[in-house]
């Protein structure tokens, strides 16, 4: 039936998924919540495989009309100094302002308006991380945001998008951009939200590279994570495996890798004046780059001290972060994704943690999942999951199920520490 756009759906999970308690007192588990959140996957039959689905994202339209107010923050950690932009979803304004220096439907907060942003309400709030070189304007994330922020009454959500530095028409103020482990701006944003909105339960959503960053952040925070749960879509997971897969085929190399490499070259060129202050960067070499892995070799490696792009990919991958997460995580991937490839998905790792469920569809491409009419299917399970976690599950009393898992170590002095990464901020 796949030739009609009817994709098959599979779930990978731990044999003993995380036990959850509903607000009515009945018991359920993470797998059941994910399964109940996931409707049949019926995609546009004319977009019959992952390549066509993914390439269709080049056909741009506005998508759902989401309005934002932007606030620039300065990172408080001297190691990651510089500004970053957070776009807060706001109601449709009565008089539509336009700021040509910002993405569509985005304007800056006035100082007076931002001073009064704090609230003691208990609405759920979603923190969103976008994909490589994208931003808050991306259609794939607006399809998730739209039904949440448009809900009525007590089921209405608040939301914000943490833009990666230099993306979404943000002008960087230091030579520090971002990478696949760039959790610092997300971390500061979550801490700020926790203080400014003390009663709001916070949730996370990440897409593509943003999904990788979000998963790493959740793993780094462990049991102290301020997010109640999260959903990640089209996470590339194992970046080294994904990069090699892109280089293996003509389409992967000449279409996807070249396009992503070109986008990143344009991004760093836009910020040449600040980025060139980094003495480790050679812009002559960067301008000769063709593919994404070459960009990472010439930019991410020298910037963060990785000897090769492979060392960077292995260190920044989010697969092992699964072992450190302590909040419910719902991961959604398409098996025919030509970028976040099937061979890079963490099937075995998910089986070893009660905190994650991996949903895979046989069709869908990369951040695509186009249905007839243009709606994106991934938004349906993502929105359903977030609503269930916010309104049906007693998310404040989740038991640490990882403590109950039997240890596989037979040496008392030997332990695997998933977040002991090679790159350290010294």
Residue 341 phi/psi, 5-degree rounding, is -70, 155
CA distance 312 to 219: 18
CB of 149 closer than 8 Å to CB of 158: yes
Q: Which of 37, 208, 243, 318 is catalytic?
A: 208
Residue 10 phi/psi, 5-degree rounding, is -130, 150
CA distance 223 to 225: 6
Q: And the tokens for 355?
A: 């905190």
Concatenate the DSSP letters of all residues of 171-189 into one string.
Answer: PPSSS----TT--HHHHHH
**Angle at alpha carbon of residue 161, lines to 384 and 181, rounded to 5°:** 100
> Residue 83: which H helix or E strand, with range?
strand 83-90
208 is catalytic: yes
CB of 57 closer than 8 Å to CB of 44: no
Mark residue 222 as left, alpha or beta (left: phi above 0; alpha: psi -120 to 50; beta: remaining): left
Terminal Cα distance for the chain, rounded: 54
Residue 334 phi/psi, 5-degree rounding, is -100, 135
**Angle at alpha carbon of residue 398, lines to 41 and 233, rounded to 5°:** 30
Q: Which of 317, 366, 368, 378 is catalytic?
A: 366
Q: Using DSSP, state whether 56 is helix, strand or coil.
A: helix
Cα–chain center distance at 383: 15
Concatenate the DSSP letters of all residues of 248-288 into one string.
Answer: HSHHIIIIIIHHHHHHHHHHHHHTHHHHTT-TT--HHHHHT
What does DSSP say about strands 6-7 and 41-42: parallel, antiparallel, or unpaired?
Answer: antiparallel
Q: Which of 337, 362, 378, 401 is catalytic?
A: 337
Per 3-state DSSP, the chain is made up of helix, strand and coil in percentages (nearest 5) of 40, 15, 45
CA distance 59 to 75: 35
Residue 14: how many other CB atoms lie within 10 Å: 20
CA distance 186 to 230: 13
Residues annotated as catalytic (active site), given as ranges: 208, 337, 366
């Amino acid at each position: 039936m796949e030739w009609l756009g009817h994709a098959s759906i599979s779930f990978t999970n731990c044999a003993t998924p995380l036990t959850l308690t509903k607000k009515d007192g009945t018991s359920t588990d993470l797998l059941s919540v994910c399964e109940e959140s996931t409707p049949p996957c019926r995609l546009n039959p004319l977009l019959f495989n992952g390549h066509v689905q993914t390439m269709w994202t080049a056909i741009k339209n506005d998508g759902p009309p989401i309005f934002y107010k932007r606030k620039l923050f300065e990172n408080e950690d001297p190691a990651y100094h510089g500004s970053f932009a957070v776009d807060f979803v706001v109601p449709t304004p009565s008089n539509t302002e336009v700021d040509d220096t910002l993405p569509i439907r985005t304007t800056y907060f006035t100082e007076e308006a931002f001073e009064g942003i704090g609230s003691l309400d208990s609405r759920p709030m979603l923190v969103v991380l976008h994909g490589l070189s994208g931003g808050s304007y991306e259609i794939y994330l607006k399809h998730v945001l739209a039904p949440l922020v448009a809900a009525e009454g007590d089921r209405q959500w608040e939301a914000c998008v943490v833009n990666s530095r230099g993306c979404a028409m943000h002008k960087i103020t230091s030579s520090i951009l971002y990478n696949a482990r760039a959790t610092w701006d997300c971390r500061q944003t979550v801490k700020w939200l926790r203080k400014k909105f003390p009663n709001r339960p916070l949730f996370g959503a990440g897409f593509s590279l943003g999904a990788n960053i979000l998963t790493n952040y959740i793993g780094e925070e462990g049991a102290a994570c301020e997010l109640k749960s999260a959903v990640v879509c089209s996470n590339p997971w194992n970046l080294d495996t994904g990069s090699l897969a892109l280089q293996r085929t003509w389409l992967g190399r000449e279409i996807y890798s070249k396009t992503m490499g070109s986008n990143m070259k344009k991004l760093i060129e836009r910020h040449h004046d600040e980025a060139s202050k980094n003495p480790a960067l050679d812009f002559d070499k960067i301008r000769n780059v063709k593919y994404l892995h070459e960009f990472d070799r010439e930019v991410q490696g020298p910037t963060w001290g990785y000897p090769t792009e492979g060392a960077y990919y292995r260190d920044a991958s989010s697969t092992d972060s699964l072992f450190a997460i302590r909040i419910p995580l719902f991961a959604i991937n398409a098996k025919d994704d030509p970028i976040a490839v099937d061979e890079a998905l963490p099937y075995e790792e998910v089986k070893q943690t009660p905190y994650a469920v991996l949903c895979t569809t046989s069709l869908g491409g990369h951040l695509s999942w186009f249905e007839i009419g243009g709606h994106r299917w991934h938004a349906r399970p993502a929105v359903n999951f977030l609503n269930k976690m916010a309104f049906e599950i007693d998310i404040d009393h989740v038991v640490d199920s990882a403590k109950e898992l039997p240890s596989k170590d037979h040496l008392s002095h030997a332990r695997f520490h998933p977040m002991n990464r090679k790159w350290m901020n010294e």
